Amino acid sequence: MIQVGLADDDALVRNTLAELLATTEDIRVAWTARDGREALDLLRSPDEPAVQVLLLDVQMPRMDGISLAETLRTERPEISVLILTTFVADGVLNRALAAGVRGFIAKEDPVSALATTIRHVAAGNMVLSPTSSAIISRRQTNDENAAPHLLQPVGVAPSKPSPNALPPGVTLSPREHEVLTLMVDALSNKQIAHRLGLSEATVKTHVSTLIAKLGVHDRVGAVVHALRNRLV
């Protein structure tokens, strides 16, 4: 059973998510908190059940979700942190990744996507749920003169990649580009392997190569880099 902690200052969101996750067979919301400070107190309390995954809203009173993630990276690194979001600003995204956040979930995700994302993170993966990936990507405008840090909409043919999208002398093979595109679509290695007719081990190798080529630290970093720099 995957034990989950949930922190959000909106009582309706807390109750709705807890009820949705209660319909799954392998995920249980162990406790909920109204803000990051209360969540940290619960995590430090010997009387509260330990959790493997923590769902955090970004904007909360007393302590926001990213500040809590930064604290937990040192204090409780074994806990996988997921950010609940309806909007992702550049500063939030960068802080979240630096704080070791394992992924992003949109509050409007269906329970199946929510549960799948939690399972992947509990297994040690880094993921963006399909809806959160779309939320991040929608921040890109169609204006050719848009600032280079903005993101390109998923499913829209991109303009030329940003000048610094890849390090000098580095290129992506057609297969690597296919894998990267499916990573942006929030597919797991197993799903990518099935889609492309490859073994899961081969996909894992491609993902590792992409992370190295893009100069990022992990899977989520590769997805964010691809969206920001119009690589897909």
Delimit the domains of the chain by residue range.
2-134, 146-228
The better pLDDT of the pair 90, 224 is held by 224
Residue 203 reports pLDDT greater than 50: yes
Mean pLDDT of the chain: 81
Name the β-bridge partners of 127: 103
Q: Are strands 127-128 and 2-7 parallel, antiparallel or unpaired?
A: unpaired
User: Among 127, 102, 107, 17, which residue's Cα sits nearest to residue 59?
Assistant: 107
The reported pLDDT for the residue numbered 138 is: 57
Q: Are 50 and 24 spatial neighbours (Cβ–Cβ below 8 Å)?
A: no
- For domain 2-134, the CATH class is alpha beta
pTM over 0.95: no
Q: Look at 73-82, 158-167, 187-196 and tell me which has the smallest mean pLDDT.
A: 158-167
41-45, 98-102, 208-212: range with lowest mean pLDDT? 98-102
Dihedral of CA atoms 88, 72, 7, 106 in degrees, nearest 10, equals 30
27 beta partners: 2
Output the CA torsion sign for 138, 170, 121, 33. Answer: negative
Helix axes 111-122 and 11-21, enclosed angle (nearest 10): 80
Q: How many CB atoms lie within 10 A of CB 176?
A: 16
113 vs 137, more confident: 113
Residue whose entry in the numeric block shows the structure tokens 């199946």: 112
Residue 106 confidence (pLDDT) above 90: no
Confidence of residue 142 (pLDDT cuts 50, 70, 90): very low
Amino acid identity, residue 37? R
* CA atoms within 13 A of residue 204's CA, in its CB half-sphere: 5
Q: Check residue 136 and give its pLDDT.
A: 61
Chain position carrying tokens 């990276």: 73
Tell me: the pLDDT tens digits for 112-123?
888 888 988 888
Give yes or no for residue 91 having a pLDDT over 50: yes
> Per-residue pLDDT tens for 173-200?
999 999 998 888 778 889 899 999 999 9
Q: Distance between CA 85 and CA 106 in Å, rounded? A: 5
CATH of domain 146-228: 1.10.10.10
Rounded Cα gap, residues 14 and 10, in angstroms = 6
- What is the separation of C-alpha 183 from the centre of its chain, rounded to a whole number of angstroms? 11
| Over residues 79-95, mean pLDDT | 73
